[in-house]
Every structure is written in C-alpha cells, then in structure tokens.
C-alpha cells in the first residue's frame, strides 16, 4: 500500500530485521516516525542524539545487527556525529537516517540549516548520501544492509528531503532471500597451513573482527599461543593456557611477539590504540587476515595477506589442520609467569584498581555484557579481567569518546532483555551523557552502573604531570551522584567495602530500574 516515504522506510527496515530504532523526533523527521510503531518496531527515545547514536552502537555490538538511529536535520545530525565517528573507528554497523532540507541554495537561514549536512556526515561515516526520491532511499538502504553483510561494518548516513518524506510512495521491494554469496566459498588457506606445519611457536593475534567461532578449539588444535586486542577479549575463552591476554600494549609483549616463529593476525587493525607503539615487534613471518584491504596494506608489512572474513577463515583453517600435530614451542607455565609479571606492572602503574576489578568480576555472571567508558578503571580491567565469552566487553577504543558507557549499555540491555548487562564509567565520562539515565529508568532496565569516581580527569592529570605541566582544569566539582540518580528514578548505592559493592551489584541485576553504584578509591 502507498504511504508517505518516511513511513515506508520504517517498514523497509522492519523487513530487513530491524526491531529497535533509537532517536529523537522533530518536526522535520516526523514522517519517519509515522511508520515505526505501525511496522512493529520499538522506538527508544534518547535525551540527546549523542545518546541515540551510542545506544545504536551498543545494540549493534550486542547483536551483530545494524543499530539504527533517526535524527533531525542540522543539530540532530551534528549531535550524532561523535557516535558515528566512534562506530567508524570500531567497525560497528550503524545506520543513521536523517531528514534534510529540500532547498539549500536559494534559501538561507532556514531552521536547522547548515553549510553542508551530507558532507559533514561523510567526514565521519563510511559514506553519506542524500535521497531525492523513494527509489534512491530504497537503493541506499539496500546498499547499506548489503555492505553490513559483506564488507567491514561501518556507519552509513542517509538523508531524505522533507518533501520526499511526506510524499506518498509505493513500498520498498521485499528483500530477496539471502543470496548465495561468493564470500561463503572457503578461502585458500594452503599457504597458511604450510607455514603452520613448520612453526614451533605460532602466535595468533585475534581482534574484534573475529566472530564467535570456537577459537579455543583452533588454537588448541594448533598448539598456538594468542594475544587479543581490546575488542577481541574473550575469543579464546577463560583460562586458555597459552593466552597472553589483552596485553599487546605492555612493552614486554614485543619481546614475546619477537620470539614467535609465525604470527597470524586475524580481524585486528593493529592500530595505535591496540599496541600503543608503532611496530608489532615481530621478527617472523606475519600473516594478516582481514576484510579490509586498507588494513592489509598497512605498515606492518604482512608477508601473506588474505582478504576474507574471519569466520570463513576460521572454518577453513579448522578443516585444513585437523591432522596437523600441535606445535610444542610454547610452555603454559612460562606464559602464566609472564602474565603474573604484567599484572604486577599494571597494578604498580594504577594501584588498587585491579583488586576492585577482581571483586566486581566475581560478583557478575560470566555472561554479563559490559560497556565501559573512557576511565582508568577500564584501562586496567582490560588487562586483568579475562573474559569467558567473546564480544562481551565493549569499549570506545579507537575514537575514544567520553560518555560512551551509559548510553551504549542501554542499547545493549535493550537488545539483551533478561540477560545481564552492566556499565562501568568514570565520573567525568558519566557526566557527559548522564541524562540518558532517564531512558534506562523509563525502560525498566536492570542495569548496574558502576561509577568509578576519582573526582577528576585523573588520566589527564597524570599526563600533565608527566609533561611537567602544573595540573590545571582537571578537577571538576561533582554532584552528589547518588541523589542525582534518584532524581531520575534510578536506585543508588555507595558501598564502603568490596563485599558491599558485590552485593550491590548482585541486587542491581534483579532491580526493576537501573542502579548507580558509586565506587571511590577509598573502597580499598
């Protein structure tokens, strides 16, 4: 049936598996809102478009499905650019649909008008395009979903003119049955297998691009050791004896990598935020497996490059090495010693946090999905908190934006009703997006929010001290966070011991609303 195009777009998204849309309505995009409930999609109303964007990100990371956000022209789009930038750097599938003005050259000074909205989004998104017709809008949505499936997932922006959103249009064509894609053909791993045949100390580096295959089985079959990036944590499961953990940024990791006689990096960008140094440190052959040619061509000088998705690679590798004898060059005792040493280093750098992290971990079910903000707590936890499951800890890694944790956690909790989700944020980062607490209350999410409050931008203060700058502008007055949470209708707790913190966390998973758990370094 004919409907305004704005409504048809929501129906089209529903047909492609979209169940939740995050956004804020305005006069410009109201036609898009016409179709949301009609199509049977849940709408989650954020308090700021930045919140909507991070929620869509959190939802996408939890489900692997694209996160969708609806925003208005101009400020709505500008407000969501930070989340788009974050999704770009962390390869998160996200679709942002905005309204735009019909005429921008002859008419100036229109409400929400900006210099060039499409171009602005294009500087942070994978691509940004304007639809002047229903056909164009449908083609762009189709393209976005095809690319989410086939390419490195990244955010896309589609803007549709107000006049077109209002105009009656035929429905979008119904999606084809999943087509057989060449991607499904197994990649040729013979060269990898022949190198593995010779290797005594093969080392895998697993990144966020690895899907949830059973990497532990593969690593065990090969006798391979591994590192994970921040986004790849949990891929080998808990307590894999040859796991060096998410310790790539440790200076000592370069030595370990240099001692490997074959290094295979899968779905890992090996960027600055993965290594905190420019070179990996390998002396042996490096094999890279990635969807993105840009990654394959980088300065790490891979000797063998496979452009494929990690799942197909893992499957092919598993089948091709079933009869291979596992390598014997790695000793689990040495690895656990190394890890104990690194843990001591972490604890010396930022004292005390590791103990709190241990207590927190013990109080959470193993399948808890955690969303962290930019906080020293998360920097420490990354290295000392081994994950039992992959893709269960999400962090704004590359772009590095404050204010990610809470809204992304809300997106995750919406996707995971009935399963445990938690947020860990610092006091400054929490401040960035705290108003989204109202959303979590509205939705009745049983969300523990651990607020690590050191009363300042401690990481920046440390950096100023290192640069011999008298620390300034790093201490801000904090509100009474517990009262503030209660003003939003959330629960709050300020535990004074680790045991109290643990019971607060356990209670929070059963509470009908989110619970702010205010933790300061004094807890130790």
Partner 1 sequence: MTSIGEALVSQLVARDVDTVFGIPGVHTVELYRGLASSGIRHVTPRHEQGAGFMADGYARVSGKPGVAFVITGPGLTNTLTAMGQARADSVPMLVVSGVNTLSSLGKGLGHLHELPDQRAMARTVALWSERVEGSDDLLPAMDRAFRPFQSGRPGPTHIEIPLDIAGDQYVETTVTPGYLTEKPEDMALIDKAVSRLAAAKTPVLLVGGGACRESAAIRFLAERLDAPVVQTVNARGLMYGHPLSVPASPSLQAVRDLIEGSDAVLALGTELGQTDFDMYATGNMASMSSLIRVDLCPDQMRRHEAEVAIVGDAGVVAAAILEALGPATASLNGARRAEAARRGAFEEIGADMRALHDILVAMRRAVPDAIMVGDSTYPIYAGNLYYDHDRPGGWFNASTGFGALGYGIPAAIGAALAAPNASVLCISGDGGAQFSLPELMTAVDENLPITFVIWNNHGYQEIATSMQAVGVTVLGCEPTPPDFEGVARSCGMPFWRIGPDAAEVAQALTAAQSHEGPRLVEIRAPNQSHSS
Beta bridge partners of 22: 44, 69
Q: How far is the CB of 455 from partner 1 (least distance, A)?
A: 12
Contact pick of 39, 353, 441, 505 for partner 1 (by CB under 8 A): 441
Site string for partner 1, 337-356 (x = CB under 8 A): --------------------
Is 376 among the residues that bind partner 1 (CB under 8 A)? no
Residue where the block lists tokens 């700058």:
469
Q: How far is the CB of 423 from partner 1 (least distance, A)?
A: 16
Rank residues 16 and 34 by Cβ distance to partner 1 and give the closer one.
34
Give phi and psi for 306, each to the nearest 5: -115, 115
Are the C-beta atoms of residues 20 and 59 closer than 8 Å to each other? yes
Give phi and psi for 423, each to the nearest 5: -120, 140
Tokens representing 36? 């949301």
Nearest-angstrom CA–CA distance, 516 and 486:
9
Rank residues 79 and 454 by Cβ distance to partner 1 and give the closer one.
79
Is 385 among the residues that bind partner 1 (CB under 8 A)? no
Give phi and psi for 52, each to the nearest 5: -60, -40
DSSP 184-222: GSPP--HHHHHHHHH-SSEEEEE-TT--SS-HHHHHHHH
Site string for partner 1, 482-511 (x = CB under 8 A): xxx-xxxx----------------------
Q: What count of other Cβ atoms lies within 10 Å of the Cβ of residue 269?
A: 26
Q: How far is the CB of 307 from partner 1 (least distance, A)?
A: 16
- Taking alpha carbons only, the member of 265, 264, 231, 227 closest to residue 248 is 227
Q: Which 43-102 positions form the footprint of partner 1 (CB under 8 A)?
A: 43, 45, 47-48, 50, 74-75, 78-79, 81-82, 85-86, 89
Nearest-angstrom CA–CA distance, 85 and 89:
6
Stretch that binds partner 1, among 144-152, 318-326, 465-473, 513-521 (CB under 8 A): 465-473
Q: Which 395-434 positions form the footprint of partner 1 (CB under 8 A)?
A: 398-403, 428, 431-434
Three-state secondary structure string covering 215-253: HHHHHHHHCCEEEECCCCCCCCCCCCCCECCCCCCCCCH
Is 269 among the residues that bind partner 1 (CB under 8 A)? yes
Site string for partner 1, 270-299 (x = CB under 8 A): xxxxx-------------------x---xx
Q: Which 136-175 positions form the footprint of partner 1 (CB under 8 A)?
A: none
Contact pick of 470, 510, 512, 522 for partner 1 (by CB under 8 A): 470
Q: Which 27-46 positions form the footprint of partner 1 (CB under 8 A)?
A: 27, 30-31, 33-34, 36-38, 43, 45
């Amino acid at each position: 049936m004919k409907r305004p195009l704005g409504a048809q777009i929501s129906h089209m998204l529903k047909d492609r598996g979209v169940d939740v849309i995050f956004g804020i309505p305005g006069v410009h995009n109201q036609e898009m809102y016409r179709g949301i409930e009609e199509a049977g999609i849940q709408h989650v109303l954020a308090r700021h478009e930045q919140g909507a964007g991070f929620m869509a990100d959190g939802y996408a990371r939890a489900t692997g499905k694209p996160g969708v956000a609806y925003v208005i022209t101009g400020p709505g789009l500008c407000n969501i650019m930070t989340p788009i930038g974050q999704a770009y750097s962390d390869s998160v599938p996200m679709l942002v649909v905005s309204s735009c003005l019909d005429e921008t050259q002859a008419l100036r000074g229109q409400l929400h008008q900006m210099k060039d909205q499409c171009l602005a989004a294009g500087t942070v998104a994978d691509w940004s395009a304007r639809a002047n017709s229903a056909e164009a809008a449908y083609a762009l949505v189709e393209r976005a979903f095809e690319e989410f499936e086939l390419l490195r997932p990244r955010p896309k922006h589609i803007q549709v003119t107000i006049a077109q959103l209002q105009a009656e249009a035929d429905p979008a064509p119904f999606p084809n049955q999943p087509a057989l894609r060449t991607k499904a053909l197994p990649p040729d791993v013979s060269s990898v297998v022949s190198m593995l045949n010779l290797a005594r100390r093969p080392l895998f580096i697993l990144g966020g691009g690895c899907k949830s295959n059973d990497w532990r089985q593969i690593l065990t079959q090969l006798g391979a050791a591994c590192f994970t990036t921040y986004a790849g944590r949990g891929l080998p499961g808990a307590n894999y004896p040859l796991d060096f953990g998410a310790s790539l940024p440790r200076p000592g990791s370069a030595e370990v990598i240099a001692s490997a006689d074959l290094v295979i990096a899968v779905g890992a960008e090996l960027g600055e935020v993965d290594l905190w140094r420019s070179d990996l440190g390998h002396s042996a052959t490096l094999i890279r497996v990635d969807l993105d040619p840009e990654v394959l061509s980088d300065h790490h000088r891979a000797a063998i490059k496979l452009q494929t998705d990690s799942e197909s690679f893992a499957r092919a590798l598993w089948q091709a090495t079933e009869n291979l004898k596992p390598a014997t060059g790695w000793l689990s005792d040495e690895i656990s010693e190394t890890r104990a040493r690194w843990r001591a280093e972490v604890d010396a750098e930022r004292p005390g946090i590791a103990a709190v992290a241990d207590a927190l971990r013990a109080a959470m079910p193993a399948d808890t999905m955690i969303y962290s903000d930019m906080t020293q707590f998360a920097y420490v936890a990354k290295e000392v908190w081994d994950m039992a499951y992959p893709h269960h800890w999400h962090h704004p890694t590359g772009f590095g934006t404050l204010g990610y944790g809470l809204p992304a956690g809300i997106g995750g909790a919406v996707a995971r009703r009935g399963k445990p989700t938690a947020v860990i944020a610092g006091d400054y980062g929490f401040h960035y997006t705290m108003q989204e607490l109202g959303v979590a209350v509205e939705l009745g999410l049983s969300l523990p929010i651990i607020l690590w409050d050191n009363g300042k931008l401690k990481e920046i203060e440390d950096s100023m001290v290192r640069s011999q700058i008298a620390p300034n502008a790093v201490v801000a007055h904090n509100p009474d966070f517990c009262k503030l949470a209660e003003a939003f209708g959330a629960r709050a707790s300020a535990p004074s011991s680790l045991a109290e913190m643990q019971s607060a966390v356990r209670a929070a998973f059963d509470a009908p609303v989110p619970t702010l758990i205010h933790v300061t370094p004094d807890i130790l």
